[in-house]
Amino acid sequence: MPMTDAERLATHRACTRFLTGHGPRNARRELTALAAEAAEDDRGDWYGEGETLAAFERDVATLLGKPAAVFMPSGTMAQQIALRVWSDRRGGAPVAFHPTSHLELHEQRGYAFLHALRARLVGDRQRLIRRSDLDALAEPIAALLLELPQREIGGQLPTWDELVQEAEWARAHGVALHLDGARLWETQPWFARPLAEIAAPFDSVYVSFYKILGGVAGAALAGPADFIAEARVWQRRHGGNLVTLYPFVLSARAGLRDRLGRIEAYVARAGAVARCLTAIPGVRVVPDPPQVNMMHVVLPGDSEVLLDESARIAQDERVSLFTWLRASEVPGFSTFELTVGDGAMALDDALLARLFRRVVGAGDA
């Protein structure tokens, strides 16, 4: 008998191990750790000012090799602001990004509704933007946003040479180059360069602190000092200059300190997980091999049947593999996004192979 959504959810909630990310948040544990992170006399920042916040913003700017940085509540805010500032400086010309950009898919088109920005979508939604896509642009644009890695296609990355060629196009055309670095931390093993060097071709960079770094929430925007000063004005307009952001700031600082060094292991583990999964008949990953610590896992079978089996495994084994699936455009396949963090680090290949063979009904190996 198929399970209801609530029944499935309950089985996953009762799990003790989680394949994706770092497993669920626990508010009490997180707040207790943050209290220990705060200096004894820390009064928190106040409308964007304060020693802890200012020092953290300087550290982030340095890490990214930019003159200045500003902490913001969200990447949605940071990126709309970045594109607005670049567009305003170029007479309100359109901005360009990939069809699967967060701005296009997940922000209720705030860029248009709030900022009256016009977006030129560039490239094919199933692959990265290429230099040839840029060469084909026939109208002027103010800014080009590149997302490293491109999340919605499984975390794909260009080669360093491809990236340099795209940056050359932007410079040659007077186009501001903005980096959507929501998952920038994860690209370091692929490019085998320091983060500041990866960010160097870009005029502005957004990074996130709550995804792989495990912070509560929060983002930063980095770039030239005058650009950041202008972004702070827009942050106030957005309602993002909060009376204080200190819980986010403390958690971001802790995440950067404690988790940045684990990225290489996460990426290596993602490769091993991909090999383990693709050895199961009918299971594929995109991209194969993974380029960062994430991938799309493509499963053969009906999504309702697969979700039921995942819930039953959660019930039997207290391991949560996946809680949602996206129907594929190829009938008979479903996909979920797998991010390797502390969760997958604690699950060995033999267990994963056994559980996923059960998911897809492949029988024992």
Binding site for a second copy (CB under 8 A): 24-28, 30-32, 34-36, 38-44, 72-78, 80, 107-110, 113-116, 210, 216-217, 233-234, 236-247, 250
**Which letter, b or e, does each residue of 104-122 get, where b requires 16 or more Cβ atoms within 10 Å of its Cβ?**
beebeebbeebbebebbeb
* Residue placing its CB nearer to a second copy in the complex, 20 or 241: 241
- Minimum CB separation of residue 225 from a second copy in Å reads 19
Query: DSSP for 217-238?
Result: S-EEEEE-HHHHHHHHHHHHHT
Residues 6+ apart with CB under 8 A from 55: none
Residue 12 is classified by DSSP as H
CA torsion through residues 233, 70, 337, 158, sign: positive
Taking the least distance from each CB to a second copy, the nearer of 241 and 291 is 241
Q: How far is the CB of 336 from a second copy (least distance, A)?
A: 17
Is residue 150 within 8 A of residue 128, CB to CB? The reply is yes
* 24/194 with CB nearer a second copy: 24
Nearest distance in Å: CB 106, a second copy? 8
Instruction: Quote the least distance from Cβ 55 to a second copy, whole Å.
Output: 14
| Residue closer to a second copy, measured from CB, 173 or 237 | 237
Q: Which two tokens stand for residue 125?
A: 């939604």
Nearest distance from residue 357's CB to a second copy, in Å?
Answer: 30
Nearest C-alpha neighbor of 358 from the set 314, 313, 320: 313
DSSP calls for 46-102: BTTB-HHHHHHHHHHHHHHT-SEEEEES-HHHHHHHHHHHHHHTTTT--EEE-TT-H
Least distance (Å) from a second copy to the CB of residue 300? 29
By beta-carbon proximity to a second copy, the closer residue of 82 and 295 is: 82
To a second copy, the closest distance from the beta carbon of 210 in angstroms equals 5
- CA trace torsion 182, 185, 191, 195 (10° rounding): 100
Q: Which is nearer to a second copy, 115 or 357 (CB)?
A: 115
214 close to 255: Cβ distance less than 8 angstroms = yes
Measured from the CB atom, the residue of 4 and 108 that comes closer to a second copy is: 108
Q: What angle do CA 128, 132, 133 make, to 5 degrees?
A: 60
